[in-house]
Structure formats: structure tokens, C-alpha cells
A and B are shown apart, each in its own frame.
Chain A
Amino acid sequence: EDQVTQSPEALRLQEGESSSLNCSYTVSGLRGLFWYRQDPGKGPEFLFTLYSAGEEKEKERLKATLTKKESFLHITAPKPEDSATYLCAVQSGAGSYQLTFGKGTKLSVIP
């Protein structure tokens, strides 16, 4: 059974204070690892897809990296508008297309 664990559960940062969110996973053959951002009361918004260990992707202040056991979402010089819950999900290569999500990390960026 695929499992995803995200840490920390919540993170408070001062504006401009860089940090990283962790996503540890166990999966029977990784087809893809996905990062989403979710604002309160809204659906998840797609950020990144990573397919293989060593891959990195960047978008504005966010950078996602992938190893064989975990992924990191690095946030550089965050702004208050980056406050949201960040969700990690995996899709296994076992013939299913469903995503298995972690519980998310709630990020608060204080001005």
C-alpha cells in the first residue's frame, strides 16, 4: 500500500525566511510525485510533477527535488501570499492512476 508522510504539519515563517517542506513516501514503483498548493475552501492547485530521483523543478520562489525515498519543496524568501497548505501525492506504477496524498503542511508566512 502506497504511503505518504509530510512534515512538519505546520510551519510559521517570517517573510523572507527560507525553509523546506518534506514529503517521505513508500510506493511500489513510482510513476510520478506531485506537489499541489491548496488555499482554504478551494481545490488543490497543481505546482510540480517529478518522475525520477535527481529531478528538480522550479517556479518563482518554489523548488521541488526528488530522491528515491523523499521529496523536498524549498521556499526561498517567502511572501505572505505563499501562505497555504502544500500537499504531496504519489502515483504508483502498479497499474492504478489514483493519487495517494499526504496530510499536507500548513505554511503561514508572517509579514
Chain B
Amino acid sequence: DTGVSQNPRHKITKRGQNVTFRCDPISEHNRLYWYRQTLGQGPEFLTYFQNEAQLEKSRLLSDRFSAERPKGSFSTLEIQRTEQGDSAMYLCASSLGATGGETQYFGPGTRLLVL
């Protein structure tokens, strides 16, 4: 399967703990995105990378959140000192990058539950 992959698929943690998620984009895609989705809502943008550069961050991305994409390949999203409000589905997407509109392909997501 050459689609976007995410690990782990599910994570249960206690409030105050740190968690890290991984995303492997479609190979040759140079843009990578993180979104968060809560029940009954559409995905909300968190951050975006072009190659290894983090070019855009949403105001939803508090100081407890950090994302990296070393060498422009896979990406990690870390949440420090988790809170119950962080419980959500975290989605990763990638795109090839082109002028005009571009299509983002999503992974299966990581579902986080903070107890």
C-alpha cells in the first residue's frame, strides 16, 4: 500500500503525559499537513510542511504542540502535558504540490483519548 500511513492508530494516555504520533506521507509528496478532528466536526488545520520547512501553524497549535519533519520525509507530532481537551482524531495528509488547486490525501488517523 503506497498511501499515507500513521502510527499508532490508537493511543490512550493519562492527563499530563506526553504523546508522539508519526506520519509517513506518500513517497515523492513534498507537502505534509496535520489536522485534528473531533466528533461531529470536520477536520481542522494544525500545521503544514513543505519538505522539511514548517511554513504555517494554526492558532489551534498551542505551545504544548510541536511538529517536525526531519529530512522532508516522515513527520512527528508531539503533544506535551496532555489535557482531556486534546482527545480527538489526529489526521495527516500529503500532497504533491502544484500551481492552482492541489489534492491532499489523508491517512487513517491516530485516535487519542486522554483520561
Binding site for B on A (CB under 8 A): 4, 31-34, 36, 41-46, 49, 51, 87, 89, 91, 96-104
Contact = CB atoms under 8 A, between A and B. Distances in A.
Contacts of B85: none
Interface in B42-58: 42-45, 48, 56, 58
A71 B42 CA distance: 17
Nearest to B95: A97
Top 8 nearest A-B pairs (CB, nearest first) are A32-B101, A101-B42, A43-B106, A98-B45, A44-B106, A43-B109, A43-B108, A31-B101
Contacts of A4: 42
Given A41-B111, A49-B101, A102 B42 contact: yes
Contacts of B45: 98-100
Interface of B: 4, 6, 31, 33, 35, 40-45, 48, 56, 58, 91, 95, 100-109, 111
A32 B48 contact: no
Nearest to A106: B40
Given A32-B101, A43-B91, A91-B102, A97 B48 contact: yes
B40 A97 contact: no
B40 A43 contact: no
Given A31-B100, A34-B104, A43-B91, A96 B56 contact: yes
30 contacts: A4-B42, A31-B100, A31-B101, A32-B100, A32-B101, A32-B102, A33-B101, A34-B101, A34-B103, A41-B109, A41-B111, A43-B4, A43-B91, A43-B106, A43-B108, A44-B106, A51-B101, A87-B43, A91-B102, A97-B31, A97-B33, A97-B48, A97-B56, A97-B102, A98-B33, A98-B48, A99-B104, A101-B44, A103-B41, A104-B42
Nearest to B104: A99
B100 A51 contact: yes
Contacts of A44: 43, 91, 106
